[in-house]
Amino acid sequence: MKKGLKIAIIAVSSVIGAVVLGAGAFVGYVLLSYNRIGDTALEVDANSTAKMQVGTAYKAMSYNIGFGAYSQDYTFFMDTGYDENGEPTCGHWSTARSKEEVEFNTAGAIQTAKDSGADFICFQEVDTKSTRSYKINQDTLISEAFPAMNHIHCPNFHTAFLPYPLYDMHGSVHAGLTTLSKFEVEEAGRKEYTVATDFSKFFDLDRCFSYMKIPTSNNKYFYMVNSHMSAYDEGGTIRSAQVAEMNAFLQERKTAGDYVIVAGDFNHDLLTNNPAFAYDSTHRPFGETKKSPDWVSFYFDENKQSPLIDGYHVVASDNYPTCRNNDIEWIPGKTFTCVVDGFIVSDNITVLSHQNIQTKNGKKGLDGFTFADHDPALIEFGLS
């Protein structure tokens, strides 16, 4: 009896020791493999030498393609929300459910961008070699689909293998921002954002924005900026720091007299309290009545003020939402939606029109969010 108990204790202790050792080894592996990319120049795949002209109308698109995973019936394990009764809800998957879905969604996003006729295209969440998207290089597929456009790719997610969640491990990730331009790019670069300093940083993107410096016909420069700010930021302290870092860049460009458009996924509600609209906490966009997901923050405060420096303004559209929450599948009228995708525009640019594009006929036979959990934002503009 005593001998059997002793063997059992040794066996349990060995298992516990192995688990502890394995966990320690994994933490060490993650720590040693982590590094921030930092500010750096980006290589330009140059396919056009055309020059932007003052007084000509151009279009720019922003589109978060969600690494090709987000079909209309896809939910994401990190996305939480609330149902009609205020009860918590949570998504399930971590990786795309099949290689075929990634290929279908990527092709659909590319075709949507083509159909828009945009002169500048800013994609976010573009995988190059990731477990979650079956190692499909979406950046290559995008650049090959637009052979006449100048192209840059800016890495913003590079992780060691993440064995979480255990039922659908996220794996290793290499992803970033892809930007296309029909016009000559003199210089391109990457600027990093502040990120969390606790252990959560190992599971989040290496947040940043990229820029293209594009000469114009009046010897000034147009900056096309592609940005993807933080979500899942309790208290909003990280996002506040990121706004300040973007403002510092915008101030530099303002001092130089440049034209600037920042396109991207701001992970802030761009409509509520926006002085261009009548939305506030009691009159919410798209008739939302449910409690907002915890990740949603407002870009404008209750006094309808944005955190931007003078000389710039937000351009966002309310004809259709650009983002759905992924705690549940896409069910119009039930799934939480908002606008987090749009543009920051310098005051020396004339905005001619803007709209959000509703993609059509998705996997569930529904319109909207056909190829991703975001739909694109489009702006038409001219240089003054």
pLDDT tens digits, one per residue of 143-200: 999 999 999 999 999 998 989 899 999 999 999 999 999 999 999 999 999 997 765 5
Contact status, residue 233 vs residue 320, Cβ threshold 8 Å: no
pLDDT more than 90, % of the chain:
80
d(CA 240, CA 189): 22
d(CA 183, CA 19): 55
d(CA 374, CA 325): 9
Task: pLDDT tens for the chain, 384 residues: list them.
Answer: 555 555 555 555 555 654 445 445 444 444 444 578 999 999 999 999 999 999 999 999 999 999 999 999 999 999 999 998 899 999 999 999 999 999 999 999 999 999 999 999 999 999 999 999 999 999 999 999 999 999 999 999 999 898 989 999 999 999 999 999 999 999 999 999 999 776 554 556 899 999 999 999 999 999 999 999 987 666 678 888 999 999 999 999 999 999 999 999 999 999 999 999 999 989 999 999 888 898 888 999 999 999 999 999 999 999 999 999 999 999 999 999 999 999 999 999 999 999 999 999 998 999 999 999 999 999 999 998
Which token pair is 86?
Answer: 């205020």
d(CA 371, CA 102): 9
Contact status, residue 325 vs residue 79, Cβ threshold 8 Å: yes
State CA 317 to chain mean position distance: 17
State CA 348 to chain mean position distance: 26
d(CA 293, CA 363): 25
The residue count for the chain:
384
The dihedrals phi and psi of 242, each to the nearest 5 degrees, come to -65, -40
| Residue 120, C-beta contacts closer than 8 angstroms, at least 6 positions apart | 58, 59, 60, 61, 179, 180, 181, 182, 224, 261, 263
DSSP 284: -
- Which amino acid type is present at position 1? M
Contact status, residue 189 vs residue 42, Cβ threshold 8 Å: yes
Pairing of strands 221-228, 259-265: parallel
Which token pair is 124?
Answer: 């976010």
- Which amino acid type is present at position 326? N
* Protein fold of 38-383: Deoxyribonuclease I; Chain A (3.60.10)
Query: What are the respective helix, strand and coil percentages of the chain, to the nearest 5?
Result: 25, 30, 45
Its pTM stands at: 0.91
| In the chain, where the domains are located | 1-33, 38-383
pLDDT tens digits, one per residue of 110-128: 999 999 999 999 999 999 9
The edge-to-edge listing of strands for the beta sheet with 312-315 is 40-41, 187-192, 208-215, 221-228, 259-265, 341-346, 312-315
